[in-house]
Amino acid sequence: MELAPSNVSASGAADSNSLRMPRKKTDAEAPLTTDDRIDMIVEYLRRMDKRDKLRTWGGFFRGILGLIPLVLMLVSVWYIYEHGDELLKKITQQAAQEAAAMTSNSAQDLMKQIELVFPGSEN
């Protein structure tokens, strides 16, 4: 089977002749019989059925992949709801330890600077 030639204008719009049914190649361009036309329609429907099956499966998998971020968000919200107190305790303990370390380092540095400026003041 071969598709009828398409007539597309310079603007890209197809005219009414480009939407013809495909023609079977014959030695003599005899008019198509009703059975030939029905066979062509059946072939079109088979192709459309295959394409629709692929689209259906593609849409299904795209939908599944689209649900993954939603599931991850719901699980993380549930986890924070259940273990939020523990997380906050860990965060505050870590912040307190870092603040204490910074304060002790700053105090030691300050004492060293004072000793440098005022030598002999340690007695």
pLDDT tens-digit series, residues 11-37: 555 555 555 656 666 555 678 899 999
Say whether pLDDT at 82 is over 90.
yes
pLDDT value at residue 85: 92
Residue 120 has which token pair? 């002999």
pLDDT category at 102 given cuts 50, 70, 90 is confident
**Dist. CA 53–CA 65, nearest whole Å:** 19
Say whether pLDDT at 5 is over 50.
no
pLDDT value at residue 108: 77
- CB contact at 8 A, 53 and 36: no
Residue 20 DSSP code: P
- Least confident window among 55-64, 94-103, 104-113: 104-113
Task: Read off the pTM.
Answer: 0.42
Dihedral (CA of 42, 47, 50, 55) sign = negative
